[in-house]
Amino acid sequence: MSENSAMFKYDEYGNTREIYVYDSGSAIHTNAFINKGTAFTFEERRRLGLVSMLPPSTRTLEHQVENSRDKVANKENDIERFIYIRSLFDRNVTLGHALIRSDIARYMSIIYTPTVGLACQHYSSMFRSANGLHFYPGNIEYAEDVLRRFQQRDIRVAVVTDNQGILGIGDQGAGGIAICVGKLMLYTQGAGIAPWHCLPISLDVGTNNEALLADDDYLGWRHPRITGDQYIDFVQRFARAFRNVFPNALCQWEDFSKQNAFAIRDAYLHDLISFNDDIQGTGAVALAGILAAMRVKKEQLKDQVFLIHGAGAGGIGIAEQIRTALCEEGLNWQEAVSRIYTLDSRGLVTSDREMLPYKVNFARDPASLEWLKDKSDLSLENVVKKGGVTVLIGTSGQPGCFSHDVVQSIMENTDMPVIMPLSNPTDHAEAVPADLYRWTNGQALIATGSPFPDILHNGTSCRIGQANNVFVFPGVGLGVLASGAREVRPEFFTAAARAVAGFVGKEELAKGALLPPVTALADVSLAVAQAVGESAIKLGVSRNCAFSTFQHQDDPVRLKELIRKMRWIPDYLPLVPM
């Protein structure tokens, strides 16, 4: 059965209420959006030509979920669990999402980080069925025709990667599409964007991963990566085709190399409804943790001095978001930048040396820093000490670089330092939370990029909040779609950060947590969507979306109703034979 054999019928809120089916019999089982497996009722079996094609007994969705949970638990390791859940998703989308929803904290670590990294590396050998679209130099000229085949699904969100900067493991060629699939599953889990409205896309421009090029099983375009004008032309062809076919859809750029990530984001700021999660999502979730810390410290953002160790896409994204928030608190651009230090592998980023363009905005003028005498002053510990740093953020991937001496230096500047070792995976973290608590006698306010267990300090159990982008991007997507925003503005991510921070209650803050638990994902996403939608309306970039208009004082109330009612939850929908 092709996807054209089904038509999704929406209510006034854009939520799917029933599916029209234009086929019957065994073909029903080949469409994952329609298939219910043993949950088809007797009446559905009769009307859809499934009589005698299934065992006589039926199972409820709840029963199917419990059965699937047992099967997942019996798998030997997480990669086998990943394969099982992906296979389940490929044959029955609703059941796959219902399973994940039953224990989001457990299954998110399988469908996304850290297990999805292994799935990228073994994509070709693990290949079971096609997911999403693969554009490469041999077919990019047909991109618009290919995309039009998906118009009947009313694509609302696409996650697009060129596969070069995957999760700290680098160039994974065609395997990078597994990241897109995982991210879109989280869009569904968090924002309730139905899976048929989601489209993963790989821009396969080749790979410089020699191991993949030498692998007979490799399924990607077997060439070195194209660069320069050829690469730019390829991306432009895709962007033009996507805009022509899905002018109202959100395009999330994912896992591009550092410089390409910024260049592409900025190039299509006004031409596509798009953003880069590695830059802006990372910036927003880090800012959320900082804002929560300010509630504990009872201080203002503009009174802090920030140091970001690791000036890649994520690090500069965090700097951008802090700058935006500081400007919202009344500082001008120059004043905001003067409170932010960025460090890379060569130490403090200063304007008197060569650097990639994306770092320039946060390069400090050496002449403005009286304590900067020679190259030895560029070190992490010295900048923390002499620069008066109060908020220390790590995106460097250098394990242990937030040493005892560095932490003692920041303690000289503030009684309650904010320390956020955000590098993934766990063994790349700049510091271990238990050490940070011990070195600061429990005074440090901590958030991490990887999950860490609770810490017992002075008889109190302290939860370490995880700065996971999943708290941001699903809600941003839902807020953009609900408001009909015609572009994604930097202010959306500040609004998202404030919403995430506001979701952390006083009791959680008292336990040391700066971010919500993953189990609250759906509710956090609703709050983020509302904040983003209101920001779009306030900034005047909201247009008449497919399901509402926003031009009156009651806009936030109507927006809230729309956001809640347009969300899909994994439950079997009525099927109407045509």
272-276-282 Cα angle (round to 5): 150
Active site residues: 112, 183
Look-up: residue for tokens 């009307």? 47
Contact (Cβ atoms closer than 8 angstroms) between residue 261 and residue 164: no
Amino acid of residue 572: Y
Q: Answer yes or no: CATH 3.40.50.1100 is held by domain 471-565.
A: no
Contact (Cβ atoms closer than 8 angstroms) between residue 465 and residue 175: no
Q: Which of 193, 188, 176, 178 is nearest to 13 (CA)?
A: 193
Contact (Cβ atoms closer than 8 angstroms) between residue 431 and residue 449: no
DSSP states of 15-59 as a string? -EEEEEE---GGGGGG-TTT--GGG--HHHHHHTT-TTTS-S---
The topology under which CATH files domain 92-256 is Rossmann fold (3.40.50)
What's residue 552's pLDDT? 53
Contact (Cβ atoms closer than 8 angstroms) between residue 484 and residue 559: no
> Which two tokens mark 546?
């497919």
Q: How far apart are CA 379 and CA 43, in angstroms?
A: 71
Q: Where in the chain is the domain with CATH 3.40.50.10380?
A: 92-256, 471-565
- Domain 280-461 maps to which CATH number in 3.30.1280.10, 3.40.50.720, 3.30.750.24, 3.40.50.2300? 3.40.50.720
Q: Which residues of the chain have pLDDT under 70?
A: 1-4, 544-554
pLDDT digits (tens, 9 = 90+) for 6-48: 899 999 899 999 999 988 888 888 899 999 999 999 999 999 9
Q: Where in the chain is the domain with CATH 3.40.50.720?
A: 280-461
pTM of this structure:
0.94
Question: Which residues on adjacent β-strands are paired with residue 577?
Answer: 21
pLDDT digits (tens, 9 = 90+) for 64-122: 999 999 999 999 999 999 999 999 999 999 999 999 999 999 999 999 988 888 999 99
How many other β-carbons are positioned within 10 Å of the β-carbon of residue 103? 13
What's residue 1's pLDDT? 39
What's residue 328's pLDDT? 92
Q: Give residues with Cβ within 8 angstroms of 461, minimum separation 6.
A: 454, 455, 511
What's residue 511's pLDDT? 87
